[in-house]
Every structure is written in structure tokens, then in C-alpha cells.
Structure 1
């Protein structure tokens, strides 16, 4: 069970995983060693899965986002396995979600430009049969939160 200090520590680490322990400790009114032990416990208990860093998409040459809505004609286990393998091998595909409702999947693709979508499209349809694909170009990112709310745990 998390207490308020744990939640605050997790929020601070989500905002900046490189933040020094002494800064986090000051923010939650703990000694650096006590804070370090809490962070270790949060890792051991599985609240912290890993630490990563976020790259600047513009500087990496990937300013364009395309969302693709997919409908499939099959839900067989072998098709699902092929689909999972296909999307895993295309680095521009950064997220895939299985949906309820009229569509089966939504795919988030990051690209150097809109024209490059055709390259990714051909890679995907060359690996797996899809019933329907519709692409939507993101014009603006209104919110892109990387952190999770911490008050539910």
C-alpha cells in the first residue's frame, strides 16, 4: 500500500527519473537514505518498472504522427500471433491498442513526414492481411502525458 510520500516520490520520478535522490528527499521531507530505501522498495514491489529517457521527436527527425484504425477479418490465434509479430518489427509503430466497438486496433506511428506513411503501410500489409485500414494525420498534440496518476494505488 502506498502512502502520500510514496505517491509524491513516484510523481517526481515520473517527471524526471534523473532527479537526484537528495532533491526528492527534500521534496517529501525525508533523509536521502530513507528516500533511497523507499525508491528501492517501490522498484522491488513493481511500482517502478524501468527508467527510460524521452527523445525529442523533432530533433530525431520524426515530427509527424499518424493514427491508423484497423479492422481485421480474422480473430484466430495464428492471425493474432502474426499481427503482433508484424507490428513489433516496424520501429515507426510506437503503440498498438486492441479496441472494443467497430474497430479492432488503433496504431500510433511516428514518421519523418506524411509521405513516409506509405513505406510503413507497405511493410505492414506485406506481413499481415487486414480487412480495412484508415489513416488519420495528427495536426496537433493537445496533451501527451507520460506519467500516470498516482492516487489510485
Structure 2
């Protein structure tokens, strides 16, 4: 990966709606060279896809919740069963396998506490193999994820 590839990746993370012509001008390449490089970065799996970042508050999702999950067993079968179940609930935004005291960390967004209570009852409480659940509410987001630092 050279300077132009890194510049393209950084520019696309900042605003993936830019046209190839705009990207090319930004990184000082011809449009055809920029297009070829973007396609190559996609084929190499460096670019996984394109999406818009949405404002959760404007969607009515003002409560962000982090849920630590401990399982009754860390067997392969128990973990696979839990992970499959997590995939079936759209209210679970992210799920991370963790080291430390919790086996998993979930991120959930809700409209309010009543909505989170419903998510807890209808979704989280139905996850298989859970021995303990610890919920933390985000009071305020200090920094939003804007993309990865592209190494030079």
C-alpha cells in the first residue's frame, strides 16, 4: 500500500459519497487511476463496503447501553449458540468476544428506558447460556468513531 492508497482510504472514510473525480483530485491521481485503485482496495478486502453514518438521536435513539455478558460455559458449543442468537436480534448493534471478567460486550441503542426494558425482556433475557449480565448506560458520547487511522 503506497501513499495514494492510504490517501484514498482516508478520504473514503471521511466521506464515501465523494465521486471518483473528487477523490482523484484530492489524492492527485487521474480519475481512471483512482478508480482502479479503489477497485483493487475493495478486492483486497481493505474496503468492506460503504454506508452512511446516521445520527441516533434524530432516529429517536437517545439511550446507548453497554451490556457485559458472562456465560455459564465457555465451551465452543455454548459460545456458538450464544453468537448465533445474538445475530438474530437487530436491537444488538455490536457484539464483541472479550477477555477479562465478561465473555461478551454488547452495544444496544434504545429510545428511552422503557424501550431498553422491552429490549432486555424480549431480547437479552432470551439469549442462551447467560449466567450474568451487567448493564452500563452511556451518559454522553465524548468521541464518535470516525474511522481507523491509516498507517503510513
TM-score using structure 2 length:
0.92
Look up the match of 2:43. Answer: 44
Q: Counterpart of 1:124?
A: 124
Which consecutive residues of structure 2, in runs of 5 or more, have no partner in the other structure?
none
Deviation at 1:115, TM superposition (A): 2.2
Find the residue that maps to 1:131 and give its secondary structure.
strand
Deviation at 1:52, TM superposition (A): 1.6
* Residues 64 and 138, structure 1, Cα contact 8 Å, conserved in 2: yes
Q: Tell me how far apart the structure 2 counterparts of residues 98 and 81 of structure 1 sit (CA, whole Å).
A: 11
Residues 1-153 of structure 1: matches in 2 within 5 Å? Answer: 2-122=1-121, 123-151=123-151
Q: Distance in 1 between matches of 2:126 and 2:26?
A: 52
Q: Which moved more, 1:31-40 or 1:122-131?
A: 122-131
Q: Secondary structure at the match of 2:130?
A: coil
Conservation of the 8 A alpha-carbon contact between 1:90 and 1:120: no
Query: Bigger CA drift: 6-15 or 23-32?
Result: 23-32
Aligned CA distance change for structure 1 residues 53 and 28 (closer, same or farther; 3 Å): same
TM-score by length of 1: 0.91
> In structure 2, the residue corresponding to 1:128 is in which secondary structure?
coil
Q: Which runs of 5+ in 1 are unaligned?
A: none
Deviates more, 1:75-84 or 1:100-109: 75-84
**Bigger mean CA offset, 131-140 vs 71-80:** 71-80
Moved over 4 A (4+): none
CA distance in 2, matches of 1:98, 1:45: 25
